Amino acid sequence: MAATAPLVLLIEDEPQMRRFLRTTLRAHDYQVVEAASAREGLAQAAGRNPEVILLDLGLPDLDGLEVTREIRRFARTPIIVISARGQEHDKVTALDLGADDYLTKPFGAPELLARIRVALRHSTFPPGTAPQPVFQAGELRVDLVRRQVFRADEEAHLTPTEYKLLAALIRHAGRVITHRQLLQEVWGANYADQSHYLRVYMAQLRHKLERDPTRPRLLTTEPGVGYRLREG
């Protein structure tokens, strides 16, 4: 087991936070490399070839956004950014720069582990390659070949845009997608600022696919950031 244990790089300056992350990850059979500064983290990211990177946005020596941009120059390694509440803007920027997901402090161990699992799975099957012909999550079943959508075995009829939106969410299943990314994927680059398009179609999708659209279980909102299609 130990030989195949995935390697996680922690870039975090606070020792207490590092200790919590290290202990939790080791207890769940991950290997951990630590970096207490951005420069050290960049060196480790290039030298150790980690499978997931946990990156704190509030580093003292270099802006976390700068680190994200830097890593993306040489690696496609999944990056999960860690931010404090109130840093929504930085979070969104990091995601648009190529980070894969985020965690907001304070967070618990289950949340951390779930994010890492999703990130690892997407790095083994990057989006766009060998899509599963049928996507299933909870009551939702989508036949991506026949373009058919079922909720609890009953077919749901979607408009072309609703289907495009759902398909984009499925490609990123389990991970957060920012408003901008979804708008670009579904409507095109000219619509990146028309976030109300997205919100209106998302509401329509929820009314067709969720049991209670005011309490969505599947198509969840990431406040101030974007949306996430939950897998289980």
Partner 1 sequence: MVTAVLNRLRINEYASSVGIIATATVVGLLLSPHLQVIDVAMLYLLAVVVVGYLHRRGPALLASLLSIAAFDFAFVPPRYTFNVHDTAYYLTFGVMLAVALSMGQLTARIREQAQDAGEREGRARALYALSRDLSEVGDLQDQIQVVTRQISDAAHGEVQVFLDGSNRKLRADDWPVEGLFESLAVRIAAIWAYKNGESAGWGTRHCAEAEALVVPLKGASGIIGVVTVHPRSLDDVLAEPERETVEALAGQAAAAFERTSLSQAHEQARIEVESERLRTALLSSLSHDLRTPLGSIEGAASSLLQESSGLSPEAQQEMAETILEESRRMTRLVTNLLDMVRVETGALAVHKEWQPLEEALGVALLRLEERLLAHAVDIRLAPALPLVPIDELLIEQVFINLLENAAKHTPRGTPIAVSAWAENGSVMVEVVDRGPGIPLGEEETVFRKFHRTAGADHAGPAGGSGLGLTICRGIIAAHGGRMWLEQSAGQGACFRFTLPLQGPPLRAVPTEAVED
Which of these ranges, 11-19, 41-49, 81-89, 121-129, lies near partner 1 under the rule CB under 8 A?
81-89
Phi, psi dihedrals of residue 102, rounded to the nearest 5°: -145, 160
Strand 148-151 vs strand 154-156: parallel, antiparallel, or unpaired? antiparallel
* 8, amino acid identity: V
User: Contacts with partner 1 in 194-213 (CB under 8 A)?
Assistant: 194-197, 199-203, 213
Residue 170 contacts partner 1 per CB under 8 A: no
Sheet holding 101-104, edge to edge: 31-35, 7-11, 52-56, 79-83, 101-104
Q: How many residues does the chain have?
A: 232
Which residue lies nearer to partner 1 by CB, 135 or 163?
163
Joined tokens for residue 187: 């409507």
Q: Does 64 interact with partner 1 (rule: CB under 8 A)?
A: no
Query: How many Å apart are CA 28 and CA 156, to the nearest integer?
Result: 39
Cα→Cα distances 71→34, 48, 113, Å:
16, 13, 22
By CB under 8 A, residue 23 contacts partner 1: no
Residue 158 interacts with partner 1 (CB under 8 A): yes or no = yes
Question: Should residue 48 be labelled a site residue for partner 1 when binding is judged by CB under 8 A?
Answer: no
Q: For residues 107-146, which are near partner 1 according to CB under 8 A?
A: 108
Quote the CA–CA distance of 31 and 159 in Å, as a whole number.
46
Figure out which of the listed residues 48, 76, 147, 211 binds partner 1, where binding follows CB under 8 A.
147
Candidates 18-26, 49-57, 59-67, 157-165 — which segment interacts with partner 1 by CB under 8 A? Answer: 157-165
Candidate segments 67-75, 115-123, 132-140, 220-228, binder of partner 1 by CB under 8 A? 220-228
* 231 binds partner 1, rule: CB under 8 A: no
Q: Count residues contacting partner 1 (CB under 8 A)?
A: 29
